[in-house]
Amino acid sequence: MGWTAVALIALAALATLVVATPVPAATAGEAPVGETALEHLVTEIAARQDPRVADALARIDGTGRRLLALRSYLRSADRLAERWSWTQEQIEAYEGSDEHLALQAEIERVRAAFSRENPGFELWVNPQVRSLDRQLESWNTNESVTEAAAHVFQAALALLDEPSFPADDPARARAALESFLSSHRPSPVPTVAAPGLSPHGQMRAVDFQVHQEDRIIAGPRSATIAAEWDDAGWSARLDAAVRAASSRFVGPLASPREPWHYTYAPEAVAAQ
């Protein structure tokens, strides 16, 4: 047998070996090892949280968004009960209550003061409590959350890749990830709260909109803060109306900056 024939046989054998060699899991459509380990840790940490938190995390899309929400839940653990969004039963009990009527009266005072100083314009407020379902929908689609989630996801993968990370000790691994999340600074800062923690979920926050007849002149959209609120002067005009008419609103929200967002504080007394 000549050298040419031998070479052809060798090449055929090599081709057969390549075809028969299994494809690594990471390249066969499965999650890389680091991502799988991270997802497993998130699941384990979630299982050790308040049942409401575990349920909310299970309804959040993607590991990055879950990490970002889990950060908020860990940081709010000691205040979770007082902050968590109302159930449908609690919402129904609130509607028409003395507290609800008191809030409506404060809003009407602000609306009246605004209209007096800005003839032809009026304030509009969504009167509904923001349910957990709506908060989850917003968290799963919000652009700032998507960007911040990608950032924390990559940072968490880098943490797991560090030689000092205790990957072989489940308890220490969970503690290390929890510590990382608790100290993590989101970039950018999400423009919505983690599902369940929004003050809108207990009607403790009010978003004002400026309307002229049927047109929205300045609405609650972060992309329009400069043009619609600041440059047009509505940030200052709304703030002036709030301060002149009520001592029960604190704001506007500074981080992330939302000139339309005020917190309702029934116990507030002095002028802001």
Q: What is the mean pLDDT of residues 2-28?
A: 40
Report the C-alpha gap between 201 and 127 in whole angstroms.
12
User: pLDDT tens, 137-146?
Assistant: 999 999 999 9
Q: What is the mean pLDDT of residues 206-228?
A: 94
Report the C-alpha gap between 32 and 157 in whole angstroms.
11
Instruction: Tell me the percentage of the chain whose pLDDT exceeds 70.
Output: 86
User: pLDDT tens, 162-214?
Assistant: 999 999 999 999 999 999 999 999 999 999 999 999 999 999 999 999 999 98
Question: Angle 33-47/170-183 helices, nearest 10 degrees?
Answer: 90
Written as six digits, the tokens of 187 are 């970039």
pTM for the whole structure: 0.80
User: pLDDT tens, 228-266?
Assistant: 999 999 999 999 999 999 999 999 999 889 999 999 998
Closest CA to 206 of 124, 87, 102: 124
More confident site: 78 or 272: 78
- In the block, which residue shows the tokens 């009246």? 112
User: pLDDT tens, 58-76?
Assistant: 999 999 999 999 999 999 9
**So what's the pLDDT on residue 34?**
82
**So what's the pLDDT on residue 172?**
96
Neighbouring-strand partners of residue 17:
none
How does residue 36 score in pLDDT terms, banded at 50, 70 and 90?
very high
**So what's the pLDDT on residue 270?**
40
How does residue 267 score in pLDDT terms, banded at 50, 70 and 90?
confident
